[in-house]
Amino acid sequence: MCGIIGYVGHREAEPILVEGLRRLEYRGYDSAGVATLTGPHLHLRKRAGRIADLARFLRDRPAPGCQGISHTRWATHGPANDRNAHPHVSSDGSIAVVHNGVIENYAILKRQLQDAGVIFDSDTDTEVIAQLLEQHYDGDLVDAVRKVLGMLKGTYGLAVVSARQPDLIVGARLGSPLVVGVGVGEHFLASDPAALMGATENVVYLQDGQMCALRADTWHVFDNNHIRIDAPIHRIDWDPIEADKGSFEHFMLKEIFEQPEALENAMRGRLSDEDATSHFGGLNLDARHLRSAERFVFTACGTSYHAALVGEYLFEELARLPVEVEYASELRYRNAPMDRNTIVLAITQSGETADTLAALRESKRKGHHTLALCNVVGSTIAREADGGVYLHAGPEIGVASTKAFCNQVSVLMMLALYMGRMRHLSSIQGLRMLKEVRALPGIVRRALDCHEQVQEIARKYYHVSNMLYLGRQYLYPVALEGALKLKEISYIHAEGYPAAEMKHGPIALVDGDTPSVFLIPSGGVADKVMSNLEEIKARGGPVIAIACDGDEELARHIEERADDVIFVPQVPEYLQPLVSVVPLQLLAYHIAVLRGCPRA
């Protein structure tokens, strides 16, 4: 995930830009760079690799000046090397651009520019923007950016400087977040407010289609009709202490251990014994409308999509409501028939994921009531949905989503209770659920006791090239999530499957070097999962089982067959995703650390 930070003011820009990039480091990247200005001279410094490599390079060749832009890049167009690192500069060396997002029509634009004699220096889509800006610059950078944006198809969070107007940074946003940091005699531009921590607490969130022009003493925002507007300033609700790693080596581990507290925050003030249900302030739908809802569509990406799949089981079991779960990247382009009484629920940690935002907007366009579960307060999706629920997980800095998943599932659980109580759940059932849900933070705390055992298991398997994650019913989405965590953090190929699907082909993958992680439920289909486990053992595949404690006979049976068993606390089946996911998060983390992967 790429990051942007820009600065214009009275101080040297380079240290501010490098510090801002360090604050964005947690998102992962493979190259970084800065461009600063001293009068008409543009100083470009960029390097593949870590920010430490860029900082070393800057020690030998400092980038002077009190204004500049910088970037951390994850390669999308062209390999991760110095040439493809941002900023990208126009052929005449006067304009520098950093960009998050994807320019979908870059190939056509590039060909047109090359036909006109422009020589390109990189393989990126972003360089097209720099070259177009050179062609369209006519003394006014804001105007040139505006013209060029009209030619682009795709998404962007953009920061631009020109050696011909060295007191100015121009920013633009479409589908990729950008915030202005408002200071005194200095202004900042960033793709994530986290980059501004310690610099300013006052930010202006740009909306899609908006542009900004920043100078040391002024900041202006323009709407998509190019009219200057009064954009509101927000104070960042961000506790710097929370963003510190504390005694943990990595944010991911810290956030895994924060899950019990995150759960407490998600539940605070939302559970009512009096009504034997849960309450939410921001749904903006009255009980009559909710009762007439006939179907929900949950839409999300990645980990949030897996939480949505758990939500599907919860809603169907507890609220008896049909749910369809759709990848946001698919829903946005689909034209599926949906009747009027369908509510669309977008689930997202950041509230900025482009596909989820597009799916939400498309659903609104079609007249559906939209809700969002978001973690980041004031994010675009939180603002644009008709109503919603905040996750209250606290800042999630680690690139791997952990505590946000936990809170997404718990909020879906509370929503399912709320919808269920409106329909067919009795008050006795409601009260029993409240009791079980309230116990969750303590139970997840106990689940974390498996930490050292998981570390041992990681040592056994960190060298493998493939892993399988298998579960059924509530634990099938958890299997998908375990596999995603491992892929994302440790770069090991992993697949999640419904355990019974293995025999329909994928079992051919199993051999002595392909461990399978089995998620064994406490009730229901436990016996069936055990027969799936036998199938894997029959092919010589090592098995790591995650099972609930408390059922001695089942425990003995599992211990006889699995190579390793991690016991987690016994909970009713609908709560199992929240305890079973914990060892999977820890396993991905420890395997990544043992493999020396930087994204943990």
Residue numbers at the binding site for ligand M6R (CB under 6 A): 301-304, 348-350, 353, 356, 399-401, 484, 488
The β-bridge relationship of strands 387-390 and 369-374 is: parallel
User: H or E element: which one contains 42?
Assistant: strand 41-48
To the nearest whole angstrom, how small is the minimum distance from the Cβ of residue 321 to ligand M6R? 23
What does each C-alpha distance from 56 to 26, 49, 87, 556 come to in angstroms? 19, 11, 18, 57
| Residue 58 and residue 111 in contact, taking contact as beta carbons nearer than 8 Å | no
To the nearest whole angstrom, how small is the minimum distance from the Cβ of residue 481 to ligand M6R? 8
Among residues 85, 27, 78, 26, which one has the least CA distance to residue 54? 85
Among residues 69, 233, 229, which one has the least CA distance to residue 160? 69
Q: Whose Cβ is closer to ligand M6R: residue 399's or residue 546's? A: 399
Q: Whose Cβ is closer to ligand M6R: residue 318's or residue 373's? A: 373
To the nearest whole angstrom, how small is the minimum distance from the Cβ of residue 515 to ligand M6R? 21
Q: Whose Cβ is closer to ligand M6R: residue 124's or residue 304's? A: 304
First-residue to last-residue Cα distance in the chain: 14
To the nearest whole angstrom, how small is the minimum distance from the Cβ of residue 423 to ligand M6R? 28
Q: Whose Cβ is closer to ligand M6R: residue 327's or residue 462's? A: 327
Half-sphere exposure of 446 (CA within 13 A, CB side): 12
Reduce the DSSP state of residue 182 to 3 states and report it: strand
Give CA–CA dist 160/130, Å, rounded. 8
Q: Whose Cβ is closer to ligand M6R: residue 325's or residue 484's? A: 484
| Residue 20 and residue 196 in contact, taking contact as beta carbons nearer than 8 Å | yes
Q: Whose Cβ is closer to ligand M6R: residue 90's or residue 299's? A: 299
Give CA–CA dist 163/492, Å, rounded. 45
Tokens of 516: 């399978």
Half-sphere exposure of 274 (CA within 13 A, CB side): 3
To the nearest whole angstrom, how small is the minimum distance from the Cβ of residue 387 to ligand M6R? 18
Q: Whose Cβ is closer to ligand M6R: residue 27's or residue 421's? A: 27
To the nearest whole angstrom, how small is the minimum distance from the Cβ of residue 355 to ligand M6R? 8
User: H or E element: which one contains 18?
Assistant: helix 13-23
Among residues 170, 102, 176, 227, which one has the least CA distance to residue 379? 176
- Which residue's Cβ lies closest to ligand M6R? 302
| Residue 79 and residue 123 in contact, taking contact as beta carbons nearer than 8 Å | yes
Q: Whose Cβ is closer to ligand M6R: residue 355's or residue 564's? A: 355
| Residue 586 and residue 400 in contact, taking contact as beta carbons nearer than 8 Å | no
